[in-house]
Each structure stands twice: as C-alpha cells, then as structure tokens.
Amino acid sequence: MKSIYILFLLIIVSYCSTADFDSLNTDSKNPASVPGETLFTNATERFYQILNSANVNNNVCRLYAQYWAQTTYPDESQYNMITRRNPDNWFTRLYRDVLKDLDASKTIIEAQSVAGESAIKTKANKLAIIEVNVVHAYATLVDLFGDVPYSEALDFSNPSPKYDDAKTVYFDIISRLDVAINTLNPDFNGFSSSEDLINQGDMQKWLKAANSLKLRLAMRIADIDAVKSAEMAKSAVAGGVISSNSENLSLDYIVTPPYTNPVYEDLVLSGRNDFVGANTLIDKMNTLKDGRRNSFFDSNMGADVFVGGVYGSANTYNQASHLGSLLNTPDNAGTVISYSEVEFLLAEAIERGFDVGGTAAGHYENGIKASFEEWGAGSADVYLANADVAYATASGNWKQKIGTQKWIALFNNGLEGWTVWRMLDFEGFNVPEGLTYQDIPVRFIYSIGEATLNGANVKAAGAAIGETLQPRNCF
C-alpha cells in the first residue's frame, strides 16, 4: 500500500514538473484581453442604457423635464441630487464604462494589421463610428455638467484631471465629428450586425446619425457662434440627416431579460408603482386636445380622461394617469435622436435664418407628424388644425411654439426634453412647493466623488461656471 502511495506521488511530481504552468494559472472565464469590437459593443450598450433609463439612481431627466411625477418618494422631483448621487452615477458611467471602453476599443482596432482596400476602409469606418460615439458622450457630459475633464481625461496615471471649459470641449468635439463624418464610407462595411447594437452594421444609418448629431450640436452653439452654427447646420443637411422614423438613432431591445428596455425594467420588472404622468405635461396636452395622450398614458382614469400627478409632490398612484402601454413594453426601442427631433431642429434653424431648406412651419408640422407616427397615434391633421397648435396662430414667439411642441414630442427622451426647456426658455414648467422658478436646475451639480478625490479642480470648475447652476445655453 505504501509503495502505491509513493508511486502516486511520483506521478504527481512528474506531472507538475512538466505541465504548462501558464495554462494552469490562466483564468479561462475572465479574459486578460478583449477584442476592440467587443469593447465597442459594451460601451454603446452602457451608454444607451443610461440614456434610456428611468431609474431614480441614474436618469432622472424625465422628472426634470416634468414629463413624469412621483408617488411615494418625490425627492428627485424636488431636485435632490445628493441622496441617490445621480451626478456621480452619470459621471462614472460615461467616463469609466463608455469613454474608457471606447478609447480602449480605438487603441486595439488602430493596432490591427489589415491589407486590401476593403479591409482598410472597414477599419476606418469602425474608428469613425467609435469617434461619433465619443463625441456624443462628451456632448452629453457638457450638457449635464458644463465644464468637464477632457484634455486630461481617461489617463489612469492622472487621477486628478483638470476641467476644461465647456465651450472649448464642444468646439473640439465638433471638429472631431467633422473628421469622422468625412471618413464614414457607406460603400464599405463597419462593425458587424452582432457587434453594432445601434445600426446593425448599416453604414448609411451611421452617416445620417452622425450628421443629425452635428445638427443638434449646431443648434447648441447657435447663441454662441451663429456663423459656425449656420455652417454646421447647412453641412449636416447636405450630408444627409435622419429623414424617417425607420432611421431613428436607437437601440432595439428584445423581450428577453436582461436585454429589455430599461424603462420596462423600471416600470414593470421592478414591481413598483413609483411614477405617474405629471400635471405639467398632461394639463398642456389636455388644453391642446393632443391625440398622443392615449399613447403616452393609459386609460386607468376612464376613457379619454387624463389626470396628471402634482409635479414635485407625493401622489397617490391610482389617482393619476399611469404611463402608457408602449413604455411598459420590453422591446420598445430606446431612441436617443429621433426624426421628430431633427425636424424641430430644422425649424429652429430656419427661424435663425440658416440655409437648410424648407420653411419653419413645414419642419414644425413634420416634427409633430413624425411624433404621432412614432407613437402610433394616427393622423396629426386634426391636431395641426387646432389654432393653438398651428404655426401661424399658436401663441408666443418661435421659441415658445417650437419649444413647446418639441418638448411634447420628446416625451420618452428626458435629457433632450429637459434641454429643450433650458435652450428655448418656453413657458409652462411648474415649481415644486417650497421652491422658486430659479431653483429648477439647468445642470447637474458636480460629482460628490470628484469633489472628494479631485477637489481642487472641481472647485476651480465651479468658480469658472459661477454660483448659478449653469447658463441656459449650456455654456
């Protein structure tokens, strides 16, 4: 028996002396290197997840846009950014999960050795698509915070990056976007359909998405540099922008968790009843007899009866209109730039005197029609015939007219809905009890984590912006 034991030990020793220790010490479940394409997929999924989320720990923009009201816990509608650290979660998501992965994806793909025109052009398309998403992410950071880390961002050796001026960031990413647009070539491939969750490898859609983003950024800087804004808008339209709902820039979710729309997760899978339609929006839609009410909200109050919860207060769930069936659908598309938004941007451009073709009234009407179609609300003709909606007779200046209708159309895009109010100053937002109109935020406070770990630079950025929560024009 003893000899058998000794023989067994000798076999073990012999094996250990000759075995491949590298393979034994390699974690087969957690790869040490990841393909650049996989990093791109992860970055875009993480980006679109937070853009579409309604979770109060992350995206509170539907509340800030006053589309939704809350039931038991109205802290976020009262603009409490501290308790759930919403700014921290956005900051971390966009820098760590989105921009850093995009940066790593770019580095890996740049290093790939390819030969032949098709492979070279495909590689260039991938890098251009990455750049479009980098621009989109940085623009989102500026829209949320103002001055942000940029020139020194993403460097692990520098944990305390300086904050760059918002205008400087915007103008630099605009230049980067132009280079990306000029590189995108629809005659060649980019990411494969399985790698590209957004446009499933459709390069023509990426080109239109990039130009539509350029049009959005053009309108962002219109009050800062009208000449450059006009040039950008004209160039974007000439290059081709989103021109139908089938081209919306969106992530198509599926019915199987965990790949369902995050709004479905927050409204249905959570098992909670935290949200109702806000009186700010519903009162306006009731006044205008808006045919999208049955799409935005359900009929729990009775047929064609819509009651908004008091914005900024705690509401009883069954005493206000619930959110509609489309928002409770697992595979509802998560749209971040819609055809409707593009048409309203063009209407604004026309009113500013920019050469983008058409008329302000025509683009305004197209924006409303696109929204009705997007929500399956039928024809918009009766609504457009309403004297309070028709462009020629609706009250207010062009900012009030376009701003109000664009805000309604962006119902499921809280960040842009909030931004419309910040940019165009249209009237109608409600003030939560105990606050003033000036208390309605026009940007996020800076990340608490950043204030702790990068305090000097955060303090300098705060001083540069001023004590107020950012000028309306985002700069």
Q: What's the whole-number mean pLDDT along residues 195-216?
A: 98
Model confidence, pTM: 0.92
Exposed, middle or buried by CB within 10 Å (0-12, 13-18, 19+), for 35? middle
- CA 64 centroid distance within chain: 14
Decide if 153 contacts 99 (C-beta within 8 A).
yes
Question: What's the chain's average pLDDT?
Answer: 93
Quickly count: other Cβ atoms within 10 Å of residue 56's Cβ. 20
254 pLDDT above the threshold of 90: yes
Identify residue 261 by its one-letter amino acid code: N
DSSP state of 30: S
470 pLDDT above the threshold of 60: no
Structure confidence by residue, pLDDT tens digits, 62-120:
999 999 999 999 999 999 999 999 999 999 999 999 999 999 999 999 999 999 999 99
Kindly state the tokens that stand for 395: 């009250």
Decide if 374 contacts 337 (C-beta within 8 A).
no
Decide if 77 contacts 311 (C-beta within 8 A).
yes
458 pLDDT above the threshold of 80: yes
Contacts of 306 (CB under 8 A, 6+ apart): 277, 282, 285, 286, 293, 297, 321
Structure confidence by residue, pLDDT tens digits, 26-40:
566 655 689 999 999
What would the DSSP string read from start to end of 433-472?
TT--GGGS-SSPPPPHHHHHHSHHHHHHHHHHH-SSS--T
Residue 465 has a pLDDT of 87
At CA 401, angle to CA 398 and CA 403, rounded to 5?
95
Decide if 415 contacts 338 (C-beta within 8 A).
no
2 pLDDT above the threshold of 80: no
Beta bridge partners of 250: 335
Residue 3 has a pLDDT of 43
Domains and CATH numbers, the chain: 36-260+330-465 (1.25.40.390)
> Alpha-carbon distance 174 to 171, whole Å?
5
Identify residue 82 by its one-letter amino acid code: I
Residue 22 has a pLDDT of 58
pLDDT band at 466 (very low <50, low <70, confident <90, very high): confident
126 pLDDT above the threshold of 90: yes
* Phi-psi sector, 30: left (phi>0), alpha (psi -120 to 50), beta: beta
Contacts of 272 (CB under 8 A, 6+ apart): none
